Amino acid sequence: MKRTKFDGFEVIWRNEVMNMYALDLKKKISVVEPELSVEWSMHECSVAIDIIEQSILEERSARGDNILVAYAMKNPVAYLFAAKVDTWVGEIDDWFHVATNEVYLYDAHTLPQFRGKRIYPFLICSAAEYFRKRTFHYAMIFSTARNVNSVKGIERCNAKCYEVVNYRNVLGWKCWRYHTGEKHVKSRLGNEI
């Protein structure tokens, strides 16, 4: 499927390939163990951590998003947001409409000195298991194809790529091309509806 739209002239050239992955939460999730001792906690409201701007935390918690934080030696070293409501996906200029009983994992960040230690897949698996225990059906997470390390971390969790979006914005002309595999996930991007 292909969609196009002109939102007015913009001085921009953008070309992205977005891989969309899903974890089936009807099955138990095998947690990827990090290479160092890490603990995690899920927060349903804003929490003060110094690795992200407080205004972002407050905005997202006001929407009802959760934040999963990884701690090494009691210091925050990584985080991952979880949305159960419609969320803007800036990389491809589109809304992601999250279906009931599904959760969208997004905006993960690991401090540079802790990257490559499997903390990212540990957070993804931990979040998936957290929502599985709360009767959610699927957890979705996206990555641009050029972010090879993120793709590897997601695939290490046995997440399956269910859709690929090729997105282009040339001077305000936007084009989305959808390559859909399995249709088990009910959540959809706005231009697909």
| Residue boundaries of the structural domains of the chain | 2-192
Q: How many angstroms separate the first and last alpha carbons of the chain?
A: 11
pLDDT of residue 178: 93
Q: Which residues pair with 88 in a beta bridge?
A: 95
Q: What is the pTM of this model?
A: 0.92
φ, ψ of residue 178 to 5 degrees: the values are -105, 130
Confidence band (pLDDT; 50, 70, 90) for 141?
Answer: very high
Q: Considering only CA atoms, which of 116, 181, 106 is closest in space to residue 144?
A: 106
Q: How confident is the model at residue 180 (pLDDT cuts 50, 70, 90)?
A: confident
CATH 3.40.630.30 fits 2-192, yes or no: yes
pLDDT beyond 90 at 10: no
Tokens of 109: 């960040």
| Average pLDDT of the residues in 142-159 | 97
